[in-house]
Amino acid sequence: MSTVEAPAKKRAQISARTLRTDNWRSYPIFIVVLFTTWVAYATVRAMMGKYYWVDEYNYLTPFYSPCVSTECVPGSAHFGTFLPELPFFIPFAAVSLPFLLLFRLTCYYYRKAYYRSYWRSPAACAVREPHKKYTGERRFPLVAQNLHRYFWAAAVIISIINTYDALLAFTDSNGDFRMGLGSLILLGNVILLWGYTLSCHSCRHIVGGRLKNFSKHPLRYRAWTLVSKLNERHGQYALITLGSLVVADLYVALVSGGVISDPRII
């Protein structure tokens, strides 16, 4: 009987960097411009130390939430001020921002985006990468990407705090119900943040993973179905929330600095 030999495991020897003829560079270029601009804006704002709170309307920008430094202006610290005066490069929200940064940095969607755009590993499907070796995420430091599920848990707590801030933006200093354009912007931002947090791949696994069958866990099955639906749009939430965070922060900064006034609805 003749034996069939397995095909040799060799890559096709193609000298061209890619045979793609479409505009595959547009995605990595878009991501580099977007992420670099966003990080620059967020860094400046987080370290600015002003224009983050509107006392009259209880507006707090998400970049300063929770405000926990003794330098936070009166009224803006809803959870106490337990951090002493800080050097300028440490933000007032020093207990939340590092976790949010790590949450996004280890996010599956962002990983794809920055591996392709900054690292070019690879820049796009079917495009030869410049790196000679591929070690995946098995070694330090990339093995730390596995901590994503823990940063997700921190992000859930911070989203609850952001929700509290957004609800507070519907009250005045006496605690009466009030509403302005800023209240709606902060609320819209927090809804999108929940969309991003709950559509996370780790969330999907936490909700519906490690089960032998769903029939014995109808509630978890229902939750998993909902999270799976959100998960289909996770990449969109990842990008949209970058925009909603900037809109919310910039709006609070402009009102706080007296550049614009907040149109009141109620």
Please identify, among the stretches 17-25, 28-36, 101-109, 129-137, the one whose residues bind ligand FES according to the rule CB under 6 A: 101-109
One symbol per residue from 115 to 154: x for binding ligand FES (CB under 6 A), - otherwise; what is it? ---------------------------------x---x--
Tokens of 177: 């119900």
DSSP E strands, 137-265: none
47 sits in which H/E element: helix 26-48
Give the C-alpha separation, 176 to 16, whole Å: 67
- The residue among 58 and 199 lying less far from ligand FES, judged by its C-beta, is 199
Which amino acid would we find at residue 98?
P
Q: By the 8 A CB rule, do 182 and 165 touch? A: no
Q: CA distances (Å), 65 to each of 94, 100, 179, in order?
A: 9, 11, 20
What is the number of H-type helices and E-type strands within the chain? 8, 2
One symbol per residue from 149 to 188: x for binding ligand FES (CB under 6 A), - otherwise; what is it? ---x------------------------------------
Query: Which residue in 243, 40, 58 sits closest to 168, CA to CA?
Result: 58
54 binds ligand FES (CB under 6 A): no
58: alpha, beta or left? (left if phi > 0; alpha if psi -120 to 50): left
Please identify, among the stretches 61-69, 103-111, 242-250, 255-263, the one whose residues bind ligand FES according to the rule CB under 6 A: 103-111
35 binds ligand FES (CB under 6 A): no
Site for ligand FES in 217-236 (CB under 6 A): 234
- Least distance from C-beta 130 to ligand FES, angstroms? 26
One symbol per residue from 61 to 100: x for binding ligand FES (CB under 6 A), - otherwise; what is it? ----------------------------------------
Please identify, among the stretches 24-32, 45-53, 196-204, 211-219, the one whose residues bind ligand FES according to the rule CB under 6 A: 196-204
152: helix, strand or coil: helix
Please identify, among the stretches 120-128, 199-207, 219-227, 240-248, the one whose residues bind ligand FES according to the rule CB under 6 A: 199-207
Which amino acid would we find at residue 90?
I
Contact with ligand FES (CB under 6 A) among 78, 120, 128, 201: 201
Please identify, among the stretches 47-55, 106-114, 120-128, 135-143, the one whose residues bind ligand FES according to the rule CB under 6 A: 106-114
| Neighbouring residues of 220: CB distance < 8 A, sequence distance ≥ 6 | 207, 208, 211, 214
242 binds ligand FES (CB under 6 A): no
β partners of residue 177: 171
- Residues at the site binding ligand FES, with contacts judged by CB under 6 A: 107-109, 148, 152, 200-202, 234
